[in-house]
């Protein structure tokens, strides 16, 4: 078991203006499953699902695996596929928001509750959710756009999600069976699924379990046990493998199993289902891969935030090096920078991709993302300190930042480094409502805020780093992502 991390206050970091001697991740041993279970909440947010969706999905799938008496290797691969099935979901968020002209979270949540292979249900859903808040004429225009795209758009959306999810699973060094299951999750037993239209046993067994489990979870959370069982039986032989549905209905009277899906401590409940003889421990290299993987999930949310997290990490490490901090802390700074914006997965693409400056109400939604980051990251016991500093990247020395209104007496050094790095990177990038700024302009703006909003020592460290490492523009990469999105549409 991992040892508990101390809080920021106990760590003695409040108001520190120089590198601390401690680490941001304080643990001697961390189960990989503990980290993935907690971070799966970020995937729930991206899909518009209730908190714990992926963990409940994993409980359902692992119970089915037990009924099927799957071998240990298969159960281990399935365990991570169930938790990480939505790794690629942020990659199609911008496309969903564009096609529907609506909140991508709401569209993704609601589409799981219909049978989208039935034209009548699909048309009704599209009409209910397209051009949110628009007139009848605007809804008709948007419906025309979606009907013109038709099945091709659905396949592309699924393909983006499945390909990206499998790619990130491989990046995490998970078994190939895990990546395959994630890729197969939207395939249907009758060949009517996406993205490849695989049929029957052409679909991997683990992928078939994931497909059934996620639908059962969505209906269970929305309507209860009977509705979950009913939808499984209704789609038996169409969406779902008949043998898997039979195994599920065999659990109808297993009261303790259905009760476990309602627990408030899903992480602990789920830990009982991880195959004990295949437990993975997260070493330093594994922690790096996790941070890099979830940074990719975050940066895929919008073409305008493409590569933002990785660039902030590059800058933050460069700033930290100017202070001569130890290599272990430098490594933690990089991880915090990679994960600082994980809460942005909870912001609608209708706001992130808006062609124009956000309104005050929309800015209020954007300002919630550090709080989301805190809620997600602090669920990992060993990440408590990292969660505190990473989520403080929009705080200011004068106390006028967000989301906790911390001031200079409360802001630790790492948070100050992240704030300077985040501001610099954001201004160097293009936004739908403004052009990217050159370094001299960034320096001028930040200098006016030195000592009041941002830490002067960190700003000077940034300037020293910039003198030797030219801050390369990511505008071309952003525009290439925009072009790719338009081409796919």
- Alpha-carbon gap, residue 78 to 239, rounded angstroms: 19
Hey, how many other C-beta atoms are within 10 angstroms of the C-beta on 27?
20
Q: Quote the distance between the C-alpha of residue 52 and its chain's center.
A: 13
Tell me the CB-side half-sphere exposure of residue 418, using CA atoms within 13 A. 30
- Alpha-carbon gap, residue 314 to 191, rounded angstroms: 45
344 as an active site residue: the answer is: yes
Single out the catalytic residue among 85, 108, 296, 344: 344
Q: Quote the distance between the C-alpha of residue 337 and its chain's center.
A: 15
| 73 close to 175: Cβ distance less than 8 angstroms | yes
* Partners of 281 in the β-ladder: 31
Residue 10, CA distances (Å) to 6, 13, 14, 22, 384 in order: 6, 8, 9, 11, 11
Picking from 325, 356, 454, 439, the residue whose alpha carbon sits closest to that of residue 396 is 454
* Partners of 236 in the β-ladder: 240
Angle at 262 between CA 261 and CA 265, to 5 degrees: 90
| 336 close to 374: Cβ distance less than 8 angstroms | no
Picking from 305, 376, 470, the residue whose alpha carbon sits closest to that of residue 42 is 376
Catalytic residues: 344
């Amino acid at each position: 078991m991992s040892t508990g991390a101390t809080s920021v206050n106990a760590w003695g970091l409040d108001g520190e203006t120089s590198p601390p001697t401690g680490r941001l991740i304080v643990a001697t041993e961390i189960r990989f499953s503990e980290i993935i279970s907690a971070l799966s909440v970020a995937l729930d947010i991206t899909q518009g699902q209730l908190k714990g969706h992926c963990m409940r999905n994993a409980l359902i799938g692992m119970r089915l695996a037990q009924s099927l008496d799957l071998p240990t290797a298969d159960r281990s691969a399935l365990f991570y596929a169930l938790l990480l099935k939505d790794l690629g979901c942020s990659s199609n968020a911008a496309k969903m928001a564009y096609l529907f002209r609506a909140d991508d979270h709401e569209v993704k949540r609601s589409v799981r509750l219909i049978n989208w292979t039935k034209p009548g249900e699909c048309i009704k859903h599209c009409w209910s959710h397209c051009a949110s808040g628009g007139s009848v004429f605007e809804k008709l225009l948007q419906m025309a756009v979606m009907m013109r795209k038709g099945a091709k758009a659905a396949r592309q959306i699924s393909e983006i999600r499945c390909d990206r999810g499998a790619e990130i699973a491989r990046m995490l060094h998970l078994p190939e069976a895990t990546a395959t299951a994630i890729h197969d999750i939207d395939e249907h037993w009758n060949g009517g699924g996406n993205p490849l239209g695989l049929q029957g046993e052409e679909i991997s067994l683990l992928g078939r379990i994931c497909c059934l489990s996620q639908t059962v979870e969505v209906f269970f959370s929305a309507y209860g046990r009977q509705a979950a069982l009913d939808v499984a039986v209704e789609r038996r032989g169409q969406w779902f493998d008949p043998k898997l549905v039979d195994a599920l209905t065999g659990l109808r009277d297993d009261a303790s199993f259905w009760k476990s899906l309602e627990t408030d401590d899903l992480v602990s409940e789920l830990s009982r289902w991880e195959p004990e003889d295949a437990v993975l421990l997260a070493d330093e290299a594994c922690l790096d891969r996790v941070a890099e993987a979830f940074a990719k999930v975050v940066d895929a949310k919008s073409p305008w935030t493409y590569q933002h997290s990785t660039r902030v990490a590059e800058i933050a490490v460069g700033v930290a090096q100017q202070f001569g901090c130890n290599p272990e802390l430098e490594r933690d700074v990089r991880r915090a920078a990679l994960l600082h914006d994980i809460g942005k997965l909870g912001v609608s693409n209708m706001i992130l991709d808006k062609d124009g400056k956000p309104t005050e109400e929309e800015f209020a939604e954007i300002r919630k993302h550090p709080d989301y980051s805190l809620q997600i990251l602090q669920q990992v016991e060993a990440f408590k300190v990292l969660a505190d500093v990473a989520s403080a990247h929009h705080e200011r020395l004068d106390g006028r930042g967000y989301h906790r209104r911390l001031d200079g007496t409360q802001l630790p050094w790492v948070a100050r480094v992240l704030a300077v790095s985040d501001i610099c990177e954001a201004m160097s990038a293009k936004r739908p409502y403004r052009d990217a700024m050159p370094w001299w302009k960034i320096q001028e703006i930040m200098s006016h805020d030195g000592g009041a909003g941002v830490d002067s020592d960190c700003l000077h460290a940034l300037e020293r780093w910039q003198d030797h490492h030219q801050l390369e523009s990511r505008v071309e990469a952003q525009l290439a992502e925009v072009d790719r999105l338009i081409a796919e549409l």
